[in-house]
Amino acid sequence: MCDEKTLKAQEQIREILEKYQYNPENLISILQEVQGRFGYLSRENLVWIGRGLNISPAKVFGVATFYTQFRLNPIGKHLILLCQGTACHVNGSEKIQKVIEEELHIHEGETTKDGLFTLNNVACLGCCSLSPVMMIGEETYSSLTADKVKKILKNLAEGEGS
């Protein structure tokens, strides 16, 4: 069962594998590049990578699930990276997480049904004096409060509707 989209994806994976000379020792770099290209690592893509490298799909899955940098599910249009580093934690990032989860009806690591938002916790974003902090796309939002977060999410969601 190979539609055009599937064939195109296979072709892109082949290109990446060629770049790394089909060498299984480059598996992590290959996974990074495939994720960069597709936004996440689908099951099909992991199987094709395994076939191309002549290693078992189970091994590819094992590596992809071991490292937190890899995503096995598609991410929303707006990826929320909420800092849970020490300074942010002390200044209420857990409460901020709850607010986001309630507003978007998802849990950490999940994507909203409409595909607009994904929430991921991350370690220190490097601007602790402005904690609690989150990043959405290129934008950093600091000194977060419940109201501020609600407003940010509302503005982003409204931006999609117009």
Q: Using CB under 6 A, list all residues that contact ligand FES.
A: 83, 85-88, 124-128, 131, 133
Residue number with CB closer to ligand FES (59 or 89): 89
In this chain, which residue has its C-beta nearest to ligand FES? Answer: 85
CB of 138 to ligand FES, least distance (A): 16
| CA 27 – CA 42 distance, rounded (Å) | 15
**Backbone conformation region of residue 115, classed left if phi is above 0, alpha if psi is from -120 to 50, else beta:** left
| CA 117 – CA 140 distance, rounded (Å) | 16
| CA 128 – CA 158 distance, rounded (Å) | 29
> Do 91 and 132 touch, CB atoms closer than 8 A?
yes
Residue number with CB closer to ligand FES (3 or 138): 138
CB of 55 to ligand FES, least distance (A): 38
Place of tokens 């690591």: 109
CB of 135 to ligand FES, least distance (A): 10
Residue number with CB closer to ligand FES (13 or 82): 82
